[in-house]
Amino acid sequence: MLNSSLKKDAIEKLKNAVAQYKRSSSTLQNNAVKLHNTRTYGVNVIRKVEEYINTLANTPKEFEKSFDQVRVNLASFKALSEISYDEKEMIKLAGGGAAAGVAAGVATAALAPTAAMAIATTFGTAATGTAISTLSGAAATNAALAWLGGGALAAGGGGMAGGSALLALAGPIGWGIGAASLAAGGFFASNKNKEAAIKADNERVEIVKATRVLDATSNEINNLKSSTQTLATNLEQSLISFISNTTKIKSFTDFSQDERNLLRAIINNTENLSALFMKEVGK
């Protein structure tokens, strides 16, 4: 039949592109989980620094100012990490957003709770700012779920609808491609060979673009994870060493000048670590 081989070849390439997209999507999700775990470790290290500083008397006001900034930097990550995940509620809220937000929301709702939280904190920490972190209780939970589902936030954000990586992660639903048609041959089986080939090729191009976005974003996530891990590990080691060498000192004024400088360096690195939580990914 005329152009039958053209259609067959185009559909095969499309299927291969979809398979590669799925692999890249899975890789991104796994990398997001790893980043989330690393950030959780970083939060624990920061908490240890703050707890130690709170045991000291006569600390400089600059320390409290630094920790105020640290709390701001961590607020959205902690709010998104601590919400109660409800898949049914997620899907319901996803239905209230814009088209792209719905696509991203439904895609996220299909993830396991751990992966959903990882995606939320990877892409939403900086984007949400204080919109969620200033809320509490049920209000915070509803706002965070709305963000995950693509709903509007108090600050006017579009939730998960924003960001090319998130739209890519939404998959075929987000691109307007009928996944069922792809699997069953739907459109391609019922249309002329040339038209089907053109359609398949156009869809393949969009999938390849989305896959490239996912791959680039995965690299971003890996780099951020590495930076966070290195800084958190070094900070924890510095704190342990400092405490072991000054066990009997309970007041900042009793430290030597060198010890004060070391403690200030620890505070500075604590603030630097928290700043990595505000780094935007996939924009």
Residue 279 has what pLDDT?
Answer: 86
Residue type, 192: K
SS (H, E, C) the chain: CCCHHHHHHHHHHHHHHHHHHHHHHHHHHHHHHHHHHHHHHHHHHHHHHHHHHHHCECCCHHHHHHHHHHHHHHHHHHHHHHCCCCHHHHHHHHCCCCHHHHHHHHHHHCCCHHHHHHHHHHHHHHHHCHHHHCCCHHHHHHHHHHHHCCCCCCCCCCHHHCCHHHHHHCCHHHHCCCHHHHHHCHHHHHCCHHHHHHHHHHHHHHHHHHHHHHHHHHHHHHHHHHHHHHHHHHHHHHHHHHHHHCCCCCEHHHCCHHHHHHHHHHHHHHHHHHHHHHCCCCC
Distances in Å between the alpha carbon of 70 and those of 49, 57, 65, 269? 11, 20, 9, 11
First to last CA, the chain: 46
- In whole angstroms, what is the distance from residue 275 CA to residue 10 CA? 47
Residue 22: both structure tokens together: 């799925």
Residue 113 has what pLDDT?
Answer: 64
Residue 111 has what pLDDT?
Answer: 58
Point out the residues of the chain with pLDDT beneath 50. 1, 93-104, 106, 151-162, 173-181, 183-184
pTM, whole model, 2 decimals? 0.79
Residue 97 has what pLDDT?
Answer: 46
Domains of the chain, residue spans: 4-278
Residue 179 has what pLDDT?
Answer: 41
Using an 8 Å Cβ cutoff, are 131 and 157 in contact? yes
Residue 5 has what pLDDT?
Answer: 82
Residue 151 has what pLDDT?
Answer: 45
Residue 190 has what pLDDT?
Answer: 52
pLDDT in tens, 69-84: 999 899 878 877 766 5
